[in-house]
Amino acid sequence: MKVILFKDHPKLGKAGDIVNVKTGYAVNFLFPGKVAMPYSEGSNKHFGLVKASIEKKKQKEIELTEKTIAELSAVELNFTSKVHDEGKLYGSITEVNITEELKNKGISVDKEQIVMEEHIKTVGEHTVSIKVRGGRTAVIKVTVTAEDAE
């Protein structure tokens, strides 16, 4: 059975592709999930109109992703913490700390988006990755300084 894909599908193809699939697969999975529609000359013309709006939506999402990455990359976070004699922190800077500091700067990020190999436990400059849409990441600079002893 020939179908037109509405959405990108990892095994079948990209949105707009006309592919052959088994009837049962199309009826039971692709059509109910709004991933595809049956192919005909009329549906092909209809999809031509829909495809333009899909492309426009994808382009807007790409622009929004680029804007978000640029905004995040410009951010520098500064933390002050109590430190041992060796320059190690008494605690650590975690995803939650970074999320809260970004929120204070007016940037909303979920802690699940923050990628850290391990929590920050030393004084100095560090980089932290933040997952953005489409598998893209932004890198922010995190500086940890020692709290002055009074």
| Residue 65: inside a domain | no
Residue 126 in domain: yes
pLDDT at 7 over 50: yes
Q: How far is CA 135 from CA 55, 87, 129, in A?
A: 19, 35, 12
The pLDDT of residue 54 is: 75
Last residue of a domain, one of 60, 84, 109: 60
Evaluate whether residue 11 is within a structural domain. yes
Same domain, 55 and 88: no
Total number of domains in the chain: 2
66, part of any domain: no
Range of the domain at 127: 75-146
Q: Is 80 found in the same domain as 118?
A: yes
Express each pLDDT in 68-121 by its tens digit: 899 888 989 999 988 987 778 888 999 999 999 999 988 888 889 999 989 999
Residue 142 shares a structural domain with residue 82:
yes
Q: Is residue 88 part of a domain?
A: yes
Model confidence at 43: pLDDT above 80: no
Which one, of 128, 123, 121, lies nearest residue 142 by Cα? 128
Q: Residue 87 sits in a domain of what CATH number?
A: 3.10.430.100
**Residue 99 domain flag:** yes
Q: Determine, yes or no, domain membership for 70.
A: no
Residues 55 and 82 in one domain: no
Residue 8 has pLDDT above 90, yes or no: no
Rounded Cα distance, 147 and 124, in Å: 12
pLDDT given for residue 97 in this prediction: 93
- Which backbone phi and psi does 99 adopt, to 5 degrees? -60, -45
CA distances in angstroms from 142 to 24, 39, 87, 99, listed in the order given = 53, 53, 16, 12
